[in-house]
Amino acid sequence: MPLVTEPTPASVIKSIQRGSTSLAPNGSSNITINSVDTSKSFVSISCKNGSMARKVNNNTGDYWSSTGALIAGGALTSATNLAVSVGNFNGTTTMVTSNNATIYWEVVEYV
């Protein structure tokens, strides 16, 4: 019986670019990336360490309200620009303290 070798499959991924940035709550940033075909690319965003605390209202006697979530997002706005932002999860009460969020991003381009 002759030896049969399978061809090595070609990769369907052309490029992967990764990085991270730190953003304050409600902050945004533009990140320059190597050029990609936006019709063959997608963005993956994750958020770490972001948090905030709020007062129930602006009266100094009110107690702290537990909150916490920061939500991160991103989009390719051009072939060489990734726009990332982070926002708070709940509402309109006064923010009295916050921690920056570490945003991890990845841009994957297919062949």
CATH number at residue 91: 2.60.40
At 45 the pLDDT is 93
**Does some domain include residue 35?**
yes
Rounded to 10 degrees, what is the CA torsion of 89, 95, 101, 103?
Answer: 50
Q: Does 2 fall in a domain?
A: no
Q: Which domain holds residue 95?
A: 13-110
Mean pLDDT of 14-18: 96
Q: Residue 63 above 70 pLDDT?
A: no
- Quote the tokens at residue 6: 């399978």
Residue 26 and residue 48: Cα distance in Å, rounded? 15
**Domains in the chain, number:** 1
In the chain, what percentage of residues exceed pLDDT 70?
A: 61
Does residue 47 form part of some domain? yes
CA gap 81, 34 in Å, rounded? 8
- Domain membership of residue 4 (yes or no) is no
pLDDT in tens, 19-54: 999 988 778 999 999 999 999 999 999 887 765 555
HSE-CB for 76 with a 13 A CA cutoff: 20
Judge whether 94 lies within some domain.
yes
Residue identified by tokens 């969020």 is 101
Q: Which of 66-70, 82-86, 96-100 has the lowest mean pLDDT?
A: 66-70
Give pTM, 2 decimals: 0.72
